[in-house]
C-alpha cells in the first residue's frame, strides 16, 4: 500500500521583488525552431530565486501577482508565465502545474520604483475565502 502524504497546512506567503517580470514576448526566444529562455528571462528568474523566501509549497496553490508598473504601456497579464516559471526555479513550488488559480493586477504606477508583489497560498484558503464572498452576495 502506497504511503499517503499528509495534506499541507493552509498558509500564505507574500513577498516583494524589485522590478517587474519580463513579458512573454521577451522571456522566450526562438532560434532555428528551438525555443529557449532569453538572457533577460534567465536574469529575472535568478533574481527571483535570490529574493524569494526559502519556503516550498507541495500542494495546489493560488498565485496573485500585483504590479507597481513604471508606466501604462505594460500589459500585466503578459507576465504570468515568466513569474510562474521563476517561482518554480526559485523552489517556491515544485512544479508550476501546482498553480491552479492565477490573478494579475496593477496596484499602481511608480516610475521610480516598479516592483512585483507576489502572494502564493494554499488553494484551499482561496477556495474558503471565495465561498464566504459568494455567501455574502447570495
Supply the pLDDT for residue 36.
86
Q: Which CATH superfamily is domain 12-137 in?
A: Holliday junction resolvase RusA (3.30.1330.70)
- How many other C-beta atoms lie within 10 A of the C-beta of residue 65? 23
**Residue bearing cell 529575472:** 44
Pairing of strands 61-69, 99-109: parallel
Domain boundaries in the chain? 12-137
Supply the pLDDT for residue 9.
62
Supply the pLDDT for residue 8.
60
pLDDT digits (tens, 9 = 90+) for 89-124: 999 999 999 999 999 999 999 999 999 999 999 998
pLDDT digits (tens, 9 = 90+) for 1-60: 666 655 666 689 999 999 999 988 888 888 888 888 899 999 999 999 999 998 899 899
Nearest-CA neighbor of 27 among 37, 18, 35? 37
Amino acid at each position: 500500500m502506497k504511503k499517503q502524504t499528509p495534506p499541507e497546512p493552509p498558509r500564505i506567503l507574500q513577498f516583494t521583488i524589485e522590478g517587474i517580470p519580463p513579458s512573454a514576448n521577451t522571456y522566450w526566444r526562438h532560434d532555428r525552431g528551438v525555443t529557449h529562455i532569453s538572457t533577460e528571462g534567465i536574469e529575472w528568474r535568478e533574481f527571483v530565486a535570490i529574493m524569494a523566501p526559502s519556503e516550498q509549497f507541495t500542494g495546489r496553490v493560488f498565485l496573485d501577482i500585483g504590479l507597481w508598473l513604471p508606466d501604462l504601456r505594460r500589459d500585466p497579464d503578459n507576465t504570468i508565465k515568466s513569474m510562474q516559471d521563476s517561482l518554480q526555479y526559485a523552489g517556491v513550488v515544485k512544479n508550476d502545474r501546482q498553480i491552479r488559480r492565477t490573478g494579475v493586477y496593477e496596484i499602481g504606477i511608480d516610475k521610480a520604483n516598479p516592483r512585483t508583489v507576489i502572494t502564493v497560498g494554499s488553494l484551499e484558503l482561496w477556495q474558503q475565502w471565495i465561498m464566504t464572498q459568494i455567501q455574502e452576495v447570495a
